[in-house]
Amino acid sequence: MTLEVPSRCSTECLRKIRSHGAQWLPRFACLRSGSSLLRAFRMMQEDGLDPSSFTLVSVVQACSNLSKSEGLRLGKQVHGYGLRNGFYSDGKTFTYNSLISMYAKLGKVYDSVALFDRFDNRDMVTWNTMISSLAQNERDEEALALVNQMVLSGIKPDGVTLSSVLPACSRLELFSTGKEIHAYALRNDGLFENSFVACALVDMYCNFGKVDEGRYVFDRVSEKRLGIWNAMISGYAQNGLYEEALDQFIQVETIASLMPNATTLASVLPACVCSETFPDKESIHGYVVKRGLECDKYVQNTLMDMYSRVGKLDVARRIFNGMEARDVVSWNTMITGCIICGHFSEAFHLLSQMQRTRNTDDEIDTDAVVHTNYKPNNISLITVLPACAILAALAKGKEIHAYAVRNFSSSDVAVGSALVDMYAKCGCLTLSRRVFDRMSKRNVITWNVLIMAYGMNGQGEEALRLFQDMVIGGEAKPNEVTYIAVFAACSHAGMVDKGVDLFHKMRKDHEVEPTAEHYACVVDLLGRAGKLEEAYHLITTMKPGIQQAAAWSSLLGSCRIHHNVKLGETAANHLFELEPNVSSHYVLLSNIYAAAGLWDKAMEVRNKMKELGVKKEPGYSWIEVGDQVHQFRAGDSLHPQSAEVHAFLEKLWSKMRKEGYVPDTSCVLHNVDEDEKELLLCGHSEKLAIAFGILNTAPGTPIRVAKNLRVCNDCHTASKYISKIEGRDIILRDVRRFHHFRNGSCSCGDYW
């Protein structure tokens, strides 16, 4: 057998190997790269030297450090060589173990399982290698089943076994199994003191939101190495305990006298972003540079995430472009950053560019010059699908769905849930339900997404039926978000009594404690139905403070709907104290005053906003035409087709008036004459997007528009007339719900 391997390697080391013979090969496993080791193996064969089992193990390990395609090609050659020369018939476990590990690392877990099943002389390492391989490839049920099989065969799990399967418990949401493993570690041979086991336990408890239990494990480890400190910092950060994470980070040096590594910094950076007590976010970057870790790939990924979340996408982009070695996480982080900052088109472009880029960045072996394309993984898909949902970019979402099907990702519960959400938010409730029904496994997120989708489409009865199916089937247990979705569904459908009844029973029925968000939902439910005094009374039963802000905001919105100036003022005054920098509070009160003709008071509110430097969030609407998403804002004149769109709207305006349309000028919050008010109404972003869609799509094609704010009364009325005149279905999604316009009527029944 002659291995075809890259030619670059350490000439001096190869010369020594050639002079000393085959028994020296394992001593030169520190060659600069796996490809050098493989070339040394080829030179041995050319010189007629016979390799030993140890030689073959070293070569197999070298193959596992190459890219998948190259590693498999060479690894199979080595495997075949070993079979032909009897290396796998002598019962030596370490030769089999190396093969099992190699195939698993290169993504061929089925081959690893086949080897494992055919090998009878298994030892502890064999079992652990197979269990670890399954867990690392997220075949978690099989990993846990193999642990049981291992115990039944008479071999006691050790620290490697436990640390391998604990992450599987987290992913499968098997908290009770994780606790059983913890109990086993306490009972057996001091496994609890094993640093890997302790780290895995802290990580497991924190993944389940049980941070106190994770801290309990941490405190009882006598010799704390850096790994367990990192696990605790990460656990605090991922559970929103940012100050605790930062405090733990400080203690790594001040108390433990340990040197933070790349993992430490990657764990604490998210806390730096979110902590209010750490205002100078970028200063942590200086610390990274002082530690000499600014070129570490994992630290760079978290730095990109940090800068994106503080709105400095240009800095994140600079780090990304300057990276010597990118991996899939780097691409996913940059795509996420674009979405966070609202650069959706750039996110889609990066996803496409990611697949076209040819690099060596994902190679562990720096000497193995094997070019590969980056392949979007499940994280890539669940990162970009919400962008399709935000923009109502159905065609782009379908492309990603097709990719997921082709690459067997659609069966993943997270990807499936994101697809259900995407179709629902694009107004395709039938497709959303179809994806949901075809999923072999669903979690609480999947159920919540679909319940919320039915609610946003005004189908409250169907949302409640789905909630009952969830409870009866037992596939997932209702949580806080489930009840938010149910209350929203009741609110949009006017099911007041049912929603209030569920609110009073949620603690008893499903052990879900009512939160501020639940109170806000029920206030919205009552207020939307005109029961403003009941809504006000419910808020007064809450503990005073910032937690009341969402409820007061719901009441203020209801006062705008029902033109209740007095109660609106009360709600607004509370909000000005609790959240003085939130523009929507001022805008809603100004709307209430304007609708009541109280222009002086409306102007006072506007002036107060200016004094405080509070800026109103501009209204945007998006529409997908072809493979491009177009954005419009009120009065837009920057779009290439702006003149054509405005001219079309003028003609449409005349047709609408003949059909009986009367502009609702109360939606204009400026004290100007009626003609100017009508002109301002004509330029609202959703009208521009709808007109653009009519001009650029075939007759009869549905028009799908998404808006970042609540649709105004006039645009709602106008959309009904446009749907009838143009013979188009118009699906308009605002920040609250969906409106399906057809032949002059809306699916909301004007209850919104």
pLDDT score recorded for residue 357: 64
pLDDT score recorded for residue 77: 84
pLDDT score recorded for residue 616: 82
- Higher pLDDT, residue 227 or 91: 227
Structure tokens at 82: 């070993």
Q: Measure CA 163 to chain center.
A: 26
Instruction: Please write the tens of the pLDDT for every residue from 305-339.
Output: 999 998 999 999 999 999 888 888 999 999 999 99
- Higher pLDDT, residue 266 or 120: 266
Instruction: Please write the tens of the pLDDT for every residue from 417-476.
Output: 999 999 999 989 999 999 999 999 899 999 999 999 999 988 999 999 999 999 999 889
User: What's phi and psi for 233, nearest 5 deg?
Assistant: -60, -45
- Within 10 Å of residue 303's Cβ, how many Cβ atoms? 25
- Higher pLDDT, residue 332 or 57: 332
On the question of pLDDT at 362 being above 50, the answer is: no
Give Cα separations from 63 to 35, 39, 106, 110 (angstroms): 8, 11, 9, 18
For residues 238 and 269, is the Cβ–Cβ distance under 8 A?
no
pLDDT score recorded for residue 58: 82
What is the residue-wise DSSP string for 178-238? HHHHHHHHHHSTTGGG-HHHHHHHHHHHHHTT-HHHHHHHHHT-SS--HHHHHHHHHHHHH
Percent of the chain surpassing pLDDT 70: 89
User: What's phi and psi for 672, nearest 5 deg?
Assistant: -125, 175
Give the contacts of 680 (CB within 8 A, at least 6 positions apart).
634, 635, 668, 670, 672
Report the residue count for the chain: 752
pLDDT score recorded for residue 292: 92
Structure tokens at 122: 């298994």
For residues 368 and 66, is the Cβ–Cβ distance under 8 A?
yes
Mean pLDDT of 620-639: 88
What 3-state class would DSSP assign to 738?
strand
pLDDT score recorded for residue 546: 92
Nearest residue to 304 (alpha-carbon basis) of 263, 336, 275: 336
Give Cα separations from 512 to 70, 454, 483, 516, 518 (angstroms): 52, 22, 9, 13, 10
- Within 10 Å of residue 150's Cβ, how many Cβ atoms? 20
Q: Measure CA 720 to chain center.
A: 36
- Within 10 Å of residue 430's Cβ, how many Cβ atoms? 8
pLDDT score recorded for residue 38: 65
On the question of pLDDT at 71 being above 90, the answer is: no
On the question of pLDDT at 752 being above 90, the answer is: no
How far apart (Å, rounded) are the C-alpha atoms in residues 466 and 463? 5
On the question of pLDDT at 579 being above 50, the answer is: yes
Instruction: Please write the tens of the pLDDT for every residue from 208-237.
Output: 999 999 999 999 888 899 999 999 999 999
What 3-state class would DSSP assign to 533?
helix
Structure tokens at 131: 């269990």
Structure tokens at 628: 């491009």
- Higher pLDDT, residue 71 or 552: 552
Exposure class string for 30-42: b at 16+ Cβ within 10 A, else e:
ebebbbbbbbbbe
- Within 10 Å of residue 516's Cβ, how many Cβ atoms? 16
Nearest residue to 669 (alpha-carbon basis) of 614, 589, 608, 611: 589
For residues 538 and 551, is the Cβ–Cβ distance under 8 A?
yes
On the question of pLDDT at 252 being above 90, the answer is: yes
How far apart (Å, rounded) are the C-alpha atoms in residues 264 and 234? 8
For residue 147, give the amino acid letter: V
How far apart (Å, rounded) are the C-alpha atoms in residues 719 and 161? 62
For residues 252 and 240, is the Cβ–Cβ distance under 8 A?
no
Q: Where are the alpha helices (DSSP H) in 65-158?
A: 68-84, 93-105, 109-118, 124-136, 140-152
Q: How confident is the model at residue 43 (pLDDT cuts 50, 70, 90)?
A: confident
Structure tokens at 111: 């081959």
Give the contacts of 500 (CB within 8 A, at least 6 positions apart).
522, 525, 526
Element housing 373 (H / E): strand 372-373
Structure tokens at 644: 């054509």
Instruction: Please write the tens of the pLDDT for every residue from 667-724.
Output: 665 555 556 666 677 788 999 999 999 999 999 999 999 999 888 888 999 999 999 9
How far apart (Å, rounded) are the C-alpha atoms in residues 313 and 342? 10
pLDDT score recorded for residue 360: 44
On the question of pLDDT at 27 being above 50, the answer is: no
For residues 617 and 583, is the Cβ–Cβ distance under 8 A?
yes
The gap between the terminal CA atoms of the chain, to the nearest Å, is 75
On the question of pLDDT at 364 being above 50, the answer is: no
How far apart (Å, rounded) are the C-alpha atoms in residues 391 and 219? 47
Structure tokens at 129: 């290698």
Q: Where are the alpha helices (DSSP H) in 255-366?
A: 262-274, 283-290, 297-309, 313-322, 328-340, 344-356
Burial class, 738, CB count within 10 angstroms (exposed 0-12 / middle 13-18 / buried 19+): buried
Nearest residue to 130 (alpha-carbon basis) of 191, 118, 63: 118
On the question of pLDDT at 517 being above 80, the answer is: yes
Write down the mean pLDDT value for the chain: 86
**Helix and strand numbers, DSSP H then E, in the chain:** 38, 8
What is the residue-wise DSSP string for 729-749? -EEEE-SS-EEEEETTEETTT
On the question of pLDDT at 28 being above 80, the answer is: no
For residues 737 and 458, is the Cβ–Cβ distance under 8 A?
yes
Positive or negative, the CA dihedral 207, 213, 216, 220 is: negative
